[in-house]
């Protein structure tokens, strides 16, 4: 489970995790520089993919089905390209292919996504459509309750310096077509998913990724950048079906 910019492993929606955990063992971790992990000495998503592969080796996990959301999708793509033996299935959510084929969202959404310490209201405007802000507040309440009960770790420390480095890594990602040109080399079955109203990562990005990889599936769900939380039941069903079809 590869999360997005400036986030820790505790910031997945607990309600989504419960649904996915019915059929799968979930492995969540903090990237270097956030939460309970040590400092980050890298400057690219390749380095985070290498760290992920190193973690898998350390915990004796030869292969895994990999879900990458937002920035986590950049890491997941590099993991599948640079360490193909580690990835059994690849699920991408709300991410882009990099380079000239990436389509950025609105300036306002990009600015919020790049902030080191956005306000709660800004976070909710980015993650949920205007008419679903109540659902967004319920998500934050679920995080609070789950961290208090011990269901998830009380692990929300994302230093501004690390967030800025993660954002800085997006510059070479967007300036180079290297990742896009290598997508066709991915051999793992791939499911691409998008939110129809995502102002951070427009759905066209997932269409372009899917078009590069033979046999790739594309699902567009209602919702914005947190569509996989808002539409967690249909999203988890799509994931379960995708993983079971090739079992």
Q: Does any domain span residue 45?
A: yes
Per-residue exposure over 192-214, b if at least 16 CB sit within 10 Å of its own CB, e if not: bbbbebbbbbbbebbebbbebbe
Q: Does any domain span residue 220?
A: yes
| Tally of domains within the chain | 1
Q: Does any domain span residue 3?
A: no
Helix (H) or strand (E) holding 125: helix 120-127
* pLDDT, average across residues 218-246: 95
pTM exceeds 0.85, yes or no: yes
Question: What single string gives the DSSP state of each residue in 57-105?
Answer: HHTT---EEEEEETHHHHHHHHHHHH-GGGEEEEEEES----GGG----
**What end-to-end distance do the CA atoms of the chain give, in Å?**
19
Picking from 57-66, 101-110, 189-198, 217-226, which range would have the lowest pLDDT averaged per residue? 101-110
Q: Does any domain span residue 2?
A: no
pLDDT at 246: 55
Name which of 135, 133, 117 is nearest 125 in CA terms.
133
Q: Does any domain span residue 142?
A: yes
d(CA 170, CA 201): 13
**pLDDT, tens digit, 9 for 90 and up, residues 147-156:** 999 999 999 9
Q: Does any domain span residue 222?
A: yes
Q: Does any domain span residue 103?
A: yes
> What CATH number is associated with residue 69?
3.40.50.1820
* pLDDT, average across residues 4-20: 97
Q: Does any domain span residue 188?
A: yes
Q: Are 179 and 98 in contact (CB under 8 A)?
A: yes
Residue 59 has pLDDT above 50, yes or no: yes
C-alpha distance from residue 247 to each of 79, 89, 90, 243 (Å): 21, 10, 14, 6
pLDDT at 217: 96
Question: 122 lies in which domain range?
Answer: 9-245
> If you average pLDDT over every residue of the chain, what do you get?
95
pLDDT at 25: 97
**pLDDT, tens digit, 9 for 90 and up, residues 18-52:** 999 999 999 999 999 999 999 999 999 999 999 99
pLDDT at 247: 44
**pLDDT, tens digit, 9 for 90 and up, residues 90-139:** 999 999 999 999 999 988 888 888 887 888 999 999 999 999 999 999 99
Question: What single string gives the DSSP state of each residue in 121-179?
Answer: HHHHHHHS-GGGHHHHHHHHHHHHHHHHHTSS-S-----HHHHHHHHHHHHHHHH--HH
């Amino acid at each position: 489970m590869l999360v997005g910019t400036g986030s820790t492993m505790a910031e997945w929606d607990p309600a989504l995790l419960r649904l996915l955990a019915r059929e799968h063992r979930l492995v969540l971790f903090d990237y270097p520089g956030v939460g309970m992990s040590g400092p980050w000495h890298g400057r690219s998503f390749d380095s985070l993919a290498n760290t992920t592969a190193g973690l898998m080796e350390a915990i004796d996990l030869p292969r895994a089905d990999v879900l990458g959301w937002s920035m986590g999708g950049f890491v997941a793509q590099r993991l599948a390209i640079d360490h193909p033996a580690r990835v059994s299935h690849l699920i991408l959510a709300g991410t882009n292919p990099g380079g000239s084929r990436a389509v950025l969202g609105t300036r306002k959404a990009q600015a919020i996504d790049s902030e080191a310490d956005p306000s709660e209201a800004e976070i909710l405007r980015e993650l949920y459509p205007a008419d679903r802000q109540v659902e967004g507040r319920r998500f934050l309440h679920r995080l609070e309750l789950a961290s208090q009960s011990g269901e998830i770790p009380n692990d929300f420390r994302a230093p501004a310096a690390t967030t800025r480095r993660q954002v800085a890594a997006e510059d070479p990602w967007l300036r180079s077509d290297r990742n896009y040109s290598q997508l066709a080399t991915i051999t793992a079955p791939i499911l691409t998913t998008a939110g129809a109203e995502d102002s951070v990562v427009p759905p066209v990005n997932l269409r372009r990724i899917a078009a590069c990889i033979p046999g790739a599936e594309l699902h567009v769900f209602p919702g914005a950048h947190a569509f996989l939380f808002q539409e967690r039941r249909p999203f988890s069903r799509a994931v379960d079906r995708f993983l079971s079809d090739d079992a």
